[in-house]
Structure 1
Amino acid sequence: MYLRPLEPEDLELLYTIENDPSLWDTSNTDAPYSRFALKNYIASSASIHECGQLRQIIDLSNSSNEPSQPVGMIDLTNYSALNARAEVGITLLKAHRGKGLGSQALQLLEMFAVQRLRIHTLYASISPNNKASLNLFIGNGYKQVATLPEWQYSQGKYHDMALFMKFF
């Protein structure tokens, strides 16, 4: 497995993930995206230093020399170089969940973030009902530091979110 930047051929993967209503609550999305909008997003992707986020494709091939096998995405958002921190988000296609791939991808992202971006803190806000994400982050050494009451609006009401952090 390796993490790589978005490429134009990732349009269908991005379209599938961004337009899956079951993921909207975790991604703060409330409407589908068009292929046109996503194509423009891919084309205009800037560096994390310019836009404050980094989206990487989780690819099961061993290198860029093999045919691509994208299975999901992992992001750094709300990046602050000054404070050396960023928020982590991860999504795997349903067929690839529960196989330890999220943990592998998270470890690769952490290594990149610490070595290349000099990150001191990674954090994630997770619904207490999202058992898979809770297990992923707890299993990788993240600690719950707060509960954010009524933090996220979905399905007609406000929900608490758990804030997890890991220091390097």
Structure 2
Amino acid sequence: MDPQLNTRRLHLRPFSYTDAKKVSKLADDPVIAATTQIPYPFTLEKAEDWIALHRGWMEKGSAYPFALVTWEEAELVGTITIRIDKNHHKGELAYWIGKPYWGKGYATEAARRVIRFGFEELYLHRIWAQVIHSNAASQKVLEYTGMSYEGTLKEDLYHQGTYADVDIYGILSSTYVSHETK
């Protein structure tokens, strides 16, 4: 399965090796690293290695990483992935947006579309996400998608030399309401 998804402003497609330079440029930012689990520095080699894993993940159905590309400018602005746990019929949502593209609603738009993909095409029972407690912008994204705050895992993540609390958000297929974004 090689899915491509669309929203009103974004084309969500598999990454290609030609994306590696832009991925590295966007992800190699200490602010991105501070609010996500992306390593810093994020070199071109790390971007290429990460992209090289995608085909295998998609072929196994274990994860679907998407490049977020704007329709108008054909600009890569970030990424969103849904990691699949087949044993429990659930998926974990993970994403980041390059700092120049923050505040434009791209993460919410992409997350809504991938949640729809997870429930309507992958037939998942539950979709969840974790967010570093201090990342208020990402918490809002998850709330805007219809996910609910489920709890905080205290000092669950060793992140940049300290232990960070992680907030868990989730949504069940039975409570899912499509937020169509086409």
TM-score w.r.t. length of structure 2 = 0.78
Q: Distance in 2 between matches of 1:55 and 1:111?
A: 15
Query: Could you tell me which residue of structure 2 aligns to residue 39 of structure 1?
Result: 48
**CA displacement at 1:99 relative to structure 2:** 1.5
Q: Distance in 2 between matches of 1:153 and 1:37?
A: 21
Query: Could you tell me which residue of structure 2 aligns to residue 61 of structure 1?
Result: 71
SS across alignment from 2:121? helix
Query: Could you tell me which residue of structure 2 aligns to residue 88 of structure 1?
Result: 93
Change beyond 3 A, Cα 1:32–1:52: farther
Change beyond 3 A, Cα 1:18–1:53: farther
Give me the CA root mean square deviation. Answer: 2.1
Percent of aligned positions with the same letter in both sequences? 21
Query: Could you tell me which residue of structure 2 aligns to residue 97 of structure 1?
Result: 102
> How many residues matched?
163
Indicate whether 1:139 and 2:139 are aligned: no
Change beyond 3 A, Cα 1:11–1:164: same
Query: Could you tell me which residue of structure 1 aligns to residue 23 of structure 2?
Result: 14
Query: Could you tell me which residue of structure 2 aligns to residue 151 of structure 1?
Result: 156
Whether the 8 Å CA contact 2:126–2:171 is kept in 1: the answer is yes
**CA displacement at 1:27 relative to structure 2:** 3.7
**CA displacement at 1:31 relative to structure 2:** 4.3
- One-letter identity of the residue aligned with 1:84: H
Change beyond 3 A, Cα 1:51–1:25: farther
Query: Could you tell me which residue of structure 2 aligns to residue 76 of structure 1?
Result: 82
Q: Distance in 2 between matches of 1:82 and 1:137?
A: 24
Whether the 8 Å CA contact 2:133–2:164 is kept in 1: the answer is no
**CA displacement at 1:88 relative to structure 2:** 0.9
